[in-house]
Every structure is written in structure tokens, then in C-alpha cells.
Amino acid sequence: MKFTLTEEQTMIQQTAREFAEQEIAPTAIERDKNAEFPTEIVKKLGELGFMGMMVDPKYDGAGMDTISYALAMMEISKVDASVGVIMSVNNSLVTFGLERWASEAVKEKYLKPLARGDKLGAFALSEPEAGSDATQQHTMAHKEGDFWVLNGMKNWITNGTSADYYIVFAQTDKEKRHKGITAFLVEKGTPGFTHGVKEDKLGIRSSDTCSLSFDNCKVPEENILWEVGKGFNFAMNTLNGGRYGIASQAVGIAMGAYEKALKYSKERKAFGTEIANHQAIQFKLADMATKIEAAKLLTLQACGLKDEGKDYIKEASMAKLFASETAMEVTRDAVQILGGYGYVREYEVERMYRDAKITEIYEGTSEIQRIVIGRAITRD
Ligand code: CAA
């Protein structure tokens, strides 16, 4: 595996860094405080081609590789992890699956505006009683003429109130366990489809998360994605891609906290010298830098394998597991290095500490990643 970035990858990383520093960072504290969705920023991300980064240009995407996507995600998440997850869901969980498994008509109608960033997507798999055990879908769909009628509830849906198009999973044949699950494309505004209020969250507060409810919601037959009974495979294959997206988000959060801690340690004096000169601080910084580098390499490795058309399931899970735990450890140490300043909103590492936690939970908890890795290494 070669780790030298190409000229194009470096350029995309630089573009993302400048955009993050100039357009996202200055307002991140306020958005977090007010739990305010970054509508204008998401629009600009679309203009930069960052909402459909890996989608083929024939479907209005930017046609970039997965490594470029990861690098951009890291830069964006470094200054605001909420913006990172909004971008990740549209790229990894929505446009990825639609490009691979939707009909040409669905791609024309829904994928193109999503890839341009004109519309926003959401991925509705989790339910009140189906989180890690995703086969236990209680949302049901039955056929009536040319329509499928959905009834049920979804939980913890990122972009839940702001999205225009939702990929919704439902049981179409209860007897068949995961082979009886089907994926549907549901438009906001479809009668019978409503969303709940925004959750009041610990972190990633300016992204919006809510429940969805389906009450005799009629979806046209042509909005079935892939085919009837393929929904679980759709979800699992999509989540593999989601996992290097969240790994990139976690690396970005850790990078942001580390840079703030390093800068602070070179300015703050205690016991007659900058605290960066104390070994207690240097050891912390050394561990932080090493873990970030390892997490970044694992993440880029998973993305590189995907770009080469190779199997990357185990590597994506390893990247997410390690990067999310790194994000927790690094942000905790950054708060510790900043001391009292680290505990207040103004210095931002407390937000990064709160934001980091979700990376160990969504798109497969750390426990689920260990299951995926464990199964893969004992099967090989
Ligand atoms: N990639 C591709 N296919 C996979 C797969 C993977 N990683 N894992 C399982 N599958 C396939 C299997 O090959 C099998 O397919 P076939 O029947 O066609 O052979 C099928 O899925 C069922 O496999 P298992 O019997 O092994 O499934 P299981 O019930 O034991 O569950 C699991 C496997 C890995 C635990 C899975 O349930 C899982 O990943 N759970 C976590 C769900 C999750 O990540 N939820 C996140 C919600 S989305 C979110 O957070 C988005 C957001 O808003 C930010």
C-alpha cells in the first residue's frame, strides 16, 4: 500500500481545509450552543462537489476517489464534526447505495440532485427495538396495487428533519428474517410520513437527529431499491462504506483537539516554562500524535483497498473501531491539557470531547465492529 497522496488528493485536502477554516470554524461554537443546522454551509459543500464526492459525473457527482473523500471528511470534521456527519450520511449512506443498486429512473430522479447537493438524504435503518441487531425490523410494508404501504417507526435518524429523500428499510416478509427486508426511497411530504422533534443531544448538536413515523405511507413500486428482499444486504454493504466515513470523522475530531492542545501547551506557562516543556504534557502529546497517525493510516488503507476494488469490510471496521476510540482518548487528553480552559465552550475542546462519543456508537457500535473483525479473522 502506497501512502503518498496524489496531486489531486492533496488539492482536495487543501480545498477542504481552507473551506473548513474560513466558512465552518468561525460559527461552530454558536451552532453547537443553539443546536442550529448549518443550512448555508451544506449548500456550499454541494457547490464544492462535497455532497456526492464519489458519485460518477454522469450522475452529477464529483467522481473523486475514496481517499479524497476521507481526507475532506477529516478536514471538515476537524473544525465541526456536526457538518462532518451531515456530509458523511449523504455521501456514504445515501448516494453510495443509490448509485450501485437503484434503477436508472431512481438515479435520474433522486441520485442526481443528492449528488449535486441540491437535496439532502437520510438513511433510516435503526428502530426503537432494532439498533445493533438490525435484522429485527418492526416497520412493515405490504403491497397494494402499484404501491407499497409502510407502517412503523424509525429512531436516531441523522438529517431526520432536514432531509428531502430517505432510504427506509422495512419488513416485506416476516418469515424470511433478513431476507424479508426491503429498502425504499421515500420522499419528504409523502402522506403518512412524519418526523419527530429534534433530539437534544450530548454532541454533534448542530446535526439534526429525530425519529420518523410511517402511518399507511404509500410508496410507488418503482421506489424499491435493488429488489424486494435485498434490503438487509443493501444496508450492510452501505454501512461498510459508512464506517470509513465515520472513521474519517473521528480522525478529524482527534486532529482538531490535538492541534488545539499542542498550540495551548506552547503558550501556557507553569512552573517557569511553557507546559510543552514538561514531560507530563509531552508524553500525552506523543501518545495523541501517534494514535492519530495510526488511525489515519488505518482509515486511508480501508479507502485505498476500496479504490483498488478489493475487499475492505474488515479494514473499514478496524479503522472505525480504532479511530473512534482514538477520538475519545485524544479529546479527553486535550481537555486535560487545557485544564479549566478545556472545560469551557470558548476553547472548543469540550465540544470535541462531546462530539467524539457518538463515533463509538453510530454506524455500528465498537462492539459491532469487534464482531465484524472477529468473524473475519476467524473465518480467514
Ligand atoms: N457487509 C456485507 N454483507 C454483510 C455484512 C457486511 N459487513 N455483514 C453481514 N452481511 C450479510 C451476510 O453476508 C448475510 O447475507 P446473505 O444472507 O445474503 O448471505 C446477511 O448480511 C446476514 O448476515 P448475518 O447473519 O451475519 O447477520 P447478523 O444478524 O449476525 O448481523 C451484524 C450482522 C454485523 C451484527 C449487523 O447486524 C450489523 O452490522 N449491525 C449494526 C447495524 C448498524 O451499524 N447500525 C447503524 C445504523 S445507521 C446509522 O447509524 C446512520 C446514521 O444516521 C449516522
Q: Per residue in 18-37, pLDDT tens?
A: 999 999 999 999 999 999 99
In a domain, 244, yes or no: yes
Instruction: Determine the structural domain holding residue 56 and report its residue range.
Output: 7-119
Q: How confident is the model at residue 380 (pLDDT cuts 50, 70, 90)?
A: low
Domain C-terminal end among 229, 247, 266: 229
Summarize the confidence of residues 60-80 as an average pLDDT.
98
Q: Does 156 share its domain with 263? A: no
Please tell me the residue having the least CA distance from ligand 1 atom 11.
Answer: 233
CA 291, CA 313: separation in Å to the nearest integer?
21
Average model confidence (pLDDT) across the chain: 96
Q: Does 248 share its domain with 276? A: yes
HSE-CB at 284 with a 13 A cutoff on CA atoms is 22
Whole-number Å distance, alpha carbon 248 to ligand 1 midpoint, is 20
Q: Does 224 share its domain with 258? A: no
Q: What are the pLDDT digits (tens) for 305-321?
A: 999 999 999 999 999 99
In a domain, 310, yes or no: yes
Contact present, 363 and 320 (Cβ < 8 Å): yes
pLDDT at res. 253: 98
DSSP string, 184-229: EEEETT-TTEEE-PPP--SS-TTS-EEEEEEEEEEEEGGGEES-TT
Contact present, 113 and 125 (Cβ < 8 Å): no
Q: Does 168 share its domain with 146? A: yes
Q: Residue 42: which H helix or E strand, with range?
A: helix 39-47
Residue that has been written with the C-alpha cell 451544506 in this structure: 42
Please tell me the residue having the least CA distance from ligand 1 atom 20.
Answer: 233
3-state secondary structure of 323: helix
Closest ligand 1 atom, residue 364 Cα? 44
Number of folded domains that form the chain: 3
In a domain, 1, yes or no: no
pLDDT at res. 169: 98
E strand intervals along 221-352: 224-225, 269-270, 273-274
pLDDT greater than 90 at residue 241:
no
Catalytic residue among 127, 325, 360, 363: 363
Q: What are the pLDDT digits (tens) for 85-142?
A: 999 999 999 999 999 999 999 999 999 999 999 999 999 999 998 989 989 999 999 9
Q: Assign residue 301 the CATH number of its domain.
A: 1.20.140.10
> Which residues contact ligand 1 via a Cβ below 6 A?
89, 93, 123, 125-126, 132, 134-135, 157-158, 178, 232-233, 236-237, 239-240, 313, 362-364, 368, 371-372
In a domain, 305, yes or no: yes
The reply to whether 363 belongs to the active site is yes
Q: Does 247 share its domain with 351? A: yes
Whole-number Å distance, alpha carbon 134 to ligand 1 midpoint, is 7
Please tell me the residue having the least CA distance from ligand 1 atom 6.
Answer: 236
User: What percent of the chain has pLDDT above 70?
Assistant: 99
Q: Does 203 share its domain with 180? A: yes
Domain C-terminal end among 212, 229, 246: 229
In a domain, 71, yes or no: yes
pLDDT greater than 70 at residue 327:
yes
Residue that has been written with the C-alpha cell 442550529 in this structure: 36
In a domain, 2, yes or no: no
Whole-number Å distance, alpha carbon 8 to ligand 1 midpoint, is 34
pLDDT greater than 70 at residue 1:
no
Residue that has been written with the C-alpha cell 455500528 in this structure: 364
Q: How confident is the model at residue 242 (pLDDT cuts 50, 70, 90)?
A: confident
Domain C-terminal end among 229, 255, 280: 229
Q: Assign residue 100 the CATH number of its domain.
A: 1.10.540.10
Q: What are the pLDDT digits (tens) for 356-365?
A: 999 999 999 9
Q: Does 205 share its domain with 342? A: no
Whole-number Å distance, alpha carbon 206 to ligand 1 midpoint, is 28
Please tell me the residue having the least CA distance from ligand 1 atom 8.
Answer: 236
